[in-house]
Structure 1
Amino acid sequence: TLIVLYGVHDGVDLAPRAAAKLAELGYTRVYLLEGELDGWRAAGGEVFQDVNVPSKSFGEYVEAHRHTPSLSAQEVKALLDARRDVVIVDSRRYEEFQTMSIPTATSVPGAELVLRIRELAPDPTTQVIVNCAGRTRSIIGTQSLVNAGIPNPVAALRNGTIGWLLAD
């Protein structure tokens, strides 16, 4: 695996130390990013700036490359209003789930999704919808269930609980 490192924290360049540690662990394709982040920007590289950027970027990558299925808040509401056979699983930690969730959702933290989905949706025709606060854990949870090969139709709630709230 190719690994490219950069990182200065409190004026200390930690990348060489990380590279040495990875080399000790047997990684052979470890490089330092020339010019650090400024060099990346100057070369036209895209920079994401926010909290949890690596995981959010990964979620966007997964969705774009795996075509992770999703439904809008309006589509999910229509399913609920029609009393369709739907199971909604909220992939956030229980504490986060307690602060805000959508009707009928069950808290199933992401690492437990594949383990618990059969007990929550034993009928393979039950629509499974995965949500989180925003979208990243919805995407990763949905794609995990798809990759695990569950027979149910599975979709992420597009834009998560925030999208649900904004859609009224």
Structure 2
Amino acid sequence: MKNLIYVTLLLIFTTVAAQCGPAASSSPEGGINVSDISARVTTQNGAVFMTIKNGGSSDDALVGAKTDVSKTVELHETKMDENDVMQMSPVPNIPIPAGSSVTLKSGGLHVMLIDMQKELAVGDKIGLTLTFEKAGPMTIEAEVKDAAMGQMDQMDHGGDAEHGEHNH
């Protein structure tokens, strides 16, 4: 009888724990923790935002990302140019210093999804694999929080303003 009670409690506990889902993704080997993950998308492009914390003793860097919802994924930075025009441009990596956090947000550093391959709506989930220089690959899930991001499509992307292949 006691075994039946323990088994029942164990089943209840594991069922509840499984439904909670992860609050953040982490890599114990590299000390990398990713939280506050969200995405904004339009029919053409999207962006993923998050906070990356490096709890390790060595500097690391986000060096790439990939997903199946867009043709191209790039690490981007948005900043004001000398003419006070916001420009978005690719960056080769995003440094994550040891013991620090870096926030990827609208108007700053972010993961850019270019040429969306499927239409997404608020509440949809995007699977994304982040690649760190030292911690390696980490798969995260971003929930689409805002689909009304018209300004992203019109923003000046600098340079030749094309989003073809970029070698990093």
Length-normalised TM-score, structure 1: 0.25
Length-normalised TM-score, structure 2: 0.25
Higher RCO, 1 vs 2 (CA within 8 Å, ≥6 residues apart): 2
The structure carrying a bigger strand percent of its residues is 2
